Amino acid sequence: MVKETKPIVSYQESFEKLDIRVGRIISAELETKTHKPTYRMTIDFGKFGQRISYGRFTQHPIEEVKDRLVLGVLNFEPRQMGPVTSEVLVLGVQYPKAESGEATFVSPAVNAKLGSKLF
């Protein structure tokens, strides 16, 4: 049986408004001040600068996180996560067989230019 999707929206009222760009994680460390363990990641978005993101990508060994290319939403408001603030939303999907909220990265398949826009 096919599951229903969310209602159809226009490109102009949704996707066109998002600024999703390629970044490279230049540092990552385990953050324990948040409700659940997360990684504190500093991400370089090229000419759009560096941003800090906190995410539950902890199923990935921390040494595999550094230097990874990721997609981040640059134009969301910063999000408070307990005592820390995430400046950019890194896109991910549910990590297989992991606890709810644990994610794996959505990444370009090739070495894309930092700051490139998703379209």
Residues 6 or more apart in contact with residue 6 via CB below 8 angstroms: none
Domains and CATH numbers, the chain: 15-105 (2.40.50.140)
Could you give the CA distance from residue 66 to residue 25 in angstroms, rounded to a whole number?
5
| Predicted model pTM | 0.92
Could you give the CA distance from residue 31 to residue 36 in angstroms, rounded to a whole number?
9
The pLDDT tens digits along the chain (119 residues) read 899 999 999 999 899 999 999 999 999 999 999 989 999 999 999 999 999 999 999 999 999 999 999 999 999 999 999 899 999 999 999 999 887 889 999 999 999 999 999 99
